[in-house]
Amino acid sequence: MNRTRLSAAALLVVSQLSGGCASTTRTTAPEAVSTTTPEAAQQPATPTTPAAPVTPPTPPFQVVTEQFADLRILRYQVPGFEALEPQQKELLYYLYEAALSGRDIIYDQNYKHNLRVRRTLDAVWKANEERRTASTNQQQIDQATRFATYTKRVWFSNGIHHHYSTRKFVPECTPAYFKELIFATDSKQLPLEPGESVTKFLATMTPILFDPNVAPKRVNQEAGKDLVKTSASNFYEGLTQAEVEAFYKKKINPKDPQPVSYGLNSKLVKDRQGRVQERKWMTEGMYDKALTQVVFWLEKAITVAENPEQKLALQKLVQFYHSGDLRKWDEYNVAWVHDTQSLTDVVNGFIEVYGDPLGYRASYESVVSFKDVEATKRIKAIGDEAQWFEDNSPIKPEHRKKNVIGITAKVITTVVEAGDAAPSTPIGINLPNASWIRKEHGSKSVNLGNIVDAYSAADAGGMLDEFAFNDAEKQRARQYAALAGKLHTDMHEVIGHASGQLNKGVGTPKETLKSYASALEEARADLVALYYLPDAKLAQLGVLPAGGEVARAEYDSYIRNGLLTQLVRLKLGETVEEAHMRNRQMVAKWAFEKGQKDKVIERVTREGNTYFRVNDYEKLRGLFGQLLRELQRITSEGDYAAGKALIETYGVKVDPVLHKEVLARYQKLNIAPYAGFIQPRLVPVVKDGKITDVKVEYPTDFSQQMLDYGRKYRLLPNFN
């Protein structure tokens, strides 16, 4: 549950600022954005000396490559890779291959038909492109363009459900056109099952793609519904929510001081006798072929590990994949937390549980990286003072950790992301998720520096001008919001997720707070950051200038986002279901309501447009502290009723009149609210059978990368 993504609104403003921003917004971008400065000076020639050759200017690195539907495709660079030692480059290459070898898993986890859908789209892509680029029939060109957009949306979302809202999207072309493509493609290229005809295949696939009522939502969080039966994610089959909860109630001991993360690496099914069983994801279980390949590359990485600590962590990860034993997963996480000296690092495994409506099962993801030593100084300064922040927190003394240990904070340079971390990516990560490991061994908090920089380089357009209240707010954002956003992310991950403790005998949040656990945890971490941003301690640490303008910029942004701009991610009539969006709306709405008497936050209408203006930043900080105290109490005590009441009252419902207004104002900006990345490509240099160097290449074509991945990392059958 410990991950930060750029908010909808945050994506949109971030690039208007002078640097990376963690919680603001994003917009359309220029054709190319320069991240390098070519040499301009030349020495003049003399009569007796030939003129020096003119060095052609370095072309700018193109960050933004294309925009379609509600998405933009970006690229990021990997600065500093060339300066790494050959052994470190070789290690990163092996981890890169391990990451991508698990790509099929996330598709299958998201929906049991996703792999077949993706392989169908891959197979007909060529026929569709011929119609799109070579046809003179405008109607056919339109159909082909719509189908190409749908295909790229599936690639982006790792399936047929939107990566953020989790609602199903359908092709805008006709089923008849899809049929044409199927019959124009060699049947050997189609993902047919044994003995299946093309006609039967088409009959099966058409409603999966085109019928909005077939698997309408990947993750359903609607109160009062059976969240298991109404969610399309491939984590459960043939079970009800009550059966799942009863199964784990028998297994889980709430008094266990070191509880394993039950359900993290398995699918829950019924056998022929109706007994509930777990199908474990392991090298000799479900996802065997993909995980065997992941392990193959991890074992190569072990041979070139930087030090014994890193080697041990990778060995423990391999043991986990072989055994499927969740105790081994805990052993790996403990070893990983204690590997603090390595420059290179990797997140690989079944990590976050946002895809499971009940919060048990985790999605496959991997992030391969190395430390940005210079940029780490800011985040490390905060991590080093974690105990001070805990001791001075507004939460109840009994809920504070008496001894905050093992927080490792750093800024990383991302090399590749895969699974649930790509193409849409987090900008901050805090792991491991197990509360007892964090308490006894610590955690790692990272800011994905080059990802944030890429977002910043993608020009945002006019979102800030449209939704900020006045020129003072806009100027404050342009001057300070970049730093404010980075600090918010740093503190959210480093001291937010790592703060507080559960009362003795209280189960983990996924057991006590159930489907509300993720939203409440993200809100708790956000509130820690928001509470401390104005604190003089940060200026004393040298991470921000004195005066309070940085905190004010973040307060403006957070309230504007939570009450207004993140609504652009919803269609009219929809409620808020995604955990991070629920978190932000809940915090902002609660603060707005509780501060109404003193007009701490004021709703202002000007020329028919709605704005939210912060009038009293000091009182707003006090409100954030009050809510943080209550959220920590809810978490520490496992108060499900109170947690549910907060989310359902403030985090779910949307004012339809305000929503309609926001969508109308937003539409004229021509902004794609979501963005993701084409991944860099690592290419080994081999001499006499050994890797002597590794080069980084930067592909420019999203579609081609998806097709290449589909061929190279096709490691699972259509159904698993």
Mean predicted confidence (pLDDT) in 115-139: 96
What's the pLDDT tens digit per position in 153-189?
Answer: 999 999 999 999 999 999 999 999 999 999 999 999 9
**Per-residue pLDDT band at 461 (split at 50, 70, 90):** low
Per-residue tokens: 482: 């970049």
**Per-residue pLDDT band at 53 (split at 50, 70, 90):** low
Beta-sheet strand order (sheet of 266-270) = 236-237, 266-270, 276-280
Q: From 571, 416, 393, 355, select the one nearest 495 (Cα to Cα).
A: 393
- pLDDT of 13 above 80: no
Mean predicted confidence (pLDDT) in 586-596: 98
Mean predicted confidence (pLDDT) in 698-718: 98
Q: What pLDDT, on the 0 to 100 scale, is given for residue 459?
A: 62
**Per-residue pLDDT band at 675 (split at 50, 70, 90):** very high
Q: What pLDDT, on the 0 to 100 scale, is given for residue 39?
A: 33
Instruction: Give residues with Cβ within 8 angstroms of 279, minimum separation 6.
Output: 266, 267, 268, 269, 285, 286
What's the pLDDT tens digit per position in 195-251?
Answer: 999 999 999 999 999 999 999 999 999 999 999 999 999 999 999 999 999 999 999
Q: From 90, 98, 94, 84, select the one nearest 690 (Cα to Cα).
A: 90
- pLDDT of 43 above 80: no
Mean predicted confidence (pLDDT) in 26-30: 29
Q: What pLDDT, on the 0 to 100 scale, is given for residue 54?
A: 63
- pLDDT of 454 above 50: yes
- pLDDT of 56 above 70: no
- Nearest-angstrom CA–CA distance, 447 and 445: 7
Query: Does the pTM exceed 0.75?
Result: yes
Q: What pLDDT, on the 0 to 100 scale, is given for residue 5?
A: 60
Q: Domain segments of the chain: what residues?
A: 88-218+688-713, 373-403+445-676
Q: Are 665 and 537 in contact (CB under 8 A)?
A: no
- pLDDT of 16 above 50: no
C-alpha distances out from residue 390 to 340, 401, 529, 618, Å? 22, 7, 12, 20
Q: What pLDDT, on the 0 to 100 scale, is given for residue 27?
A: 28
- pLDDT of 28 above 50: no
Burial of residue 626 (CB within 10 Å: 0-12, 13-18, 19+) is middle
Mean predicted confidence (pLDDT) in 8-31: 35
Mean predicted confidence (pLDDT) in 494-504: 92
- pLDDT of 460 above 60: no
Output the average pLDDT for the chain.
91
- pLDDT of 671 above 90: no
- pLDDT of 33 above 70: no
Burial of residue 260 (CB within 10 Å: 0-12, 13-18, 19+) is middle
C-alpha distances out from residue 342 to 92, 291, 307, 339, 690, Å? 12, 25, 7, 7, 23
Higher pLDDT, 169 or 1: 169
**Per-residue pLDDT band at 2 (split at 50, 70, 90):** low
What's the pLDDT tens digit per position in 513-545?
Answer: 999 999 999 999 999 999 999 999 999 999 999
Mean predicted confidence (pLDDT) in 577-591: 96
Q: What pLDDT, on the 0 to 100 scale, is given for residue 548?
A: 93
